[in-house]
Structure 1
Amino acid sequence: MSRRPRQSLKNRLRRALVRVRRFLPPGTRLPIGLLLMAGGLLGFLPILGFWMLPLGVAVIALDVVPFWRWLRGPRKR
């Protein structure tokens, strides 16, 4: 019936990252991610929100491989 909120959030984030990877060239992902993180720091403002911080980190992680590995965590063997 109803999905778990955590699973739904993971699916939405995954879809957003696929769109970012497909439509933004690699040279623009880093500045976009930094802008999202800067906007997330101003999350107390009405339009900006704290939701921008994890999205900015994920966008930056698309281009920075060691950061991506850290974000994903240890792999199960």
Structure 2
Amino acid sequence: MTFGLHPKTGRLHIGKWSVAMPRSRVGRIIVGVALVIGGILGFLPILGFWMVPLGLLVLSQDLRAVRRQRRRLSVWWTKRQRAKQAKRSTSL
């Protein structure tokens, strides 16, 4: 699976889905912040809590602190999946 902003096309790839993103850094930051704020208001109709992780993914392209946390989460998730897979293969 692919996650993140493709450097050549400027599209945000989330698994099999792809969404066009602004080319400018300021535009991406505005979109990311808007998604996070909209996600915080997820109890309202139309808005949802799904917007928070998507906004953080967009922000991770331009903000070091968010990018660092995304990488840590990615490493943790990969280790977790490998451990589960190893556990399944040994139990068979």
TM-score band by shorter chain is 0.5 to 0.7
- Quick check: which one's strand share is greater? 2
Question: Which structure exhibits the higher relative contact order, with contacts defined as CA atoms closer than 8 Å and separated by 6 or more residues?
Answer: 1
- Quick check: which one's helix share is greater? 1
Q: 1:4 maps to what in 2?
A: none
Q: 1:24 maps to what in 2?
A: 22
Does residue 1:49 correspond to 2:48, yes or no?
Answer: yes
Q: 2:38 maps to what in 1?
A: 39
- Whose radius of gyration is greater, 1 or 2? 2
The percent of aligned pairs where both chains have the same amino acid is 40
Structure 2 residue runs without a partner (length 5+): 14-19, 76-92
Structure 1 residue runs without a partner (length 5+): 1-10
Q: Please, what is the CA RMSD of the aligned residues?
A: 2.6
Q: 1:7 maps to what in 2?
A: none
AA matched with 1:71: R
Structure 1 residues 71 and 46: CA distance shift in structure 2, 3 A:
same
Count of residue correspondences: 63
